[in-house]
Amino acid sequence: MKLRRPISLRGFLAFAAIVCGTALAASQAPVGAEHGMVVTAHKLATEVGIGVLKHGGNAVDAAVAVGYTLAVVYPAAGNLGGGGFMTIQLADGRKTFIDFREKAPLAATPNMYLDSAGNVIKGLSTKGHLAVAVPGSVAGLEYARTKYGTRSRGALIAPAIGFAERGFTLDDGDIALFATATDDFKDDPATAAIFLNKGQPYKAGDRLVQKDLAKTLRLIARSGPEAFYEGSIAEAIAASSAMGNGVISKADLQQYKVRELAPIECDYRGYHIVSAPPPSSGGVVICEILNVLEGYPLKDLGFRSAQAVHYQIEAMRHAYVDRNSYLGDPDFVKNPLDRLLGKRYAEKIRAAIDPAKAGVSRDLKPGVPPHEGANTTH
């Protein structure tokens, strides 16, 4: 997000203190920075990103280093076997969006998660080899680094290799995440060997070492994405998939492509927002919500007042109905972005919101005319 109008750091922090004052009783004071900021899901990854910036790397370099580090220190979400999005605004004003989300394998079918009667088979799309799509993280991080970064691949992957090889100390948060999947770990010997300590759950203070992951990261650091998508790693992925009744093949990995798209942009009370376009729903939903809220005197209503919160909830309710009804992968779905992001459409939503009564989500219908098409998010 950038400001169209200039504002000093001191002024911004004062503004933030006024707006967020009510919340500060239960949280830490906001942190300000003049040149850069790194926020991640794990302290160690944040420290890696800050280190990259302090040593002359740019924001993309920091993001790439963080991405690889999270694959080691935050296995609940950080990954080499998944995918992601990256929204970028360069110092010269250029904006772009990199889509490196997972893709369906070539052998995937519309009914692969259904039984013979057409009913969804519980868990089949969320657990096991058949639930896995073709990973994009390695390709996407390298694409971003090559085109928009300034540092070498080896330098950016080195911190992740260190954490994988030497290990890192697990804290209470790590253990809480592991605990949600202990039974699943026990069902898979290969996973149990990594995330269980001799068959038992890890405890806070234990050290998690992932030497095989360190080897994988070294191969990627040395040879690039080809090591992951065409070499021994690709062979291991395809073999594991076949053994577990999955459908990912070496051809899937070899054909994976990153794509670059224009980001979503909108304005809110003098601020200019740059965010993710479809196949992400994030930018569209954020901008639709802000367009609706812009028509309400939120400052006069008061921060966290019942009326202000009511309008926020209702704006979100309408935006998510549209998200689930219209948004999808642009390769297959015509997303009606001009309508959803239009100020006039926001006016129609405000007119439908009862200022004194909560809406019922299941009763709401999407507000864009039917001829635009109706598709669920992908």
CA-based radius of gyration for the chain? 23
d(CA 36, CA 377) in angstroms, rounded, equals 33
Q: Of the listed 96, 182, 376, 377, which one is catalytic?
A: 376
d(CA 225, CA 237) in angstroms, rounded, equals 14
d(CA 315, CA 36) in angstroms, rounded, equals 32
Cβ-based neighbour number of residue 365 at 10 Å = 9
- Give me the residue label for tokens 């010269």: 92
Q: What share of the chain is helix, strand, coil (3-state, %, to 5)?
A: 50, 10, 40
- Is 376 one of the catalytic residues? yes
The burial of 282, by beta-carbon neighbours within 10 Å (0-12 exposed, 13-18 middle, 19 or more buried), is given as middle
Q: Is the peptide bond before 279 cis (omega within 30 degrees of 0)?
A: yes
220 contacts 227 by C-beta, under 8 angstroms: yes
Enumerate the active-site residues.
376
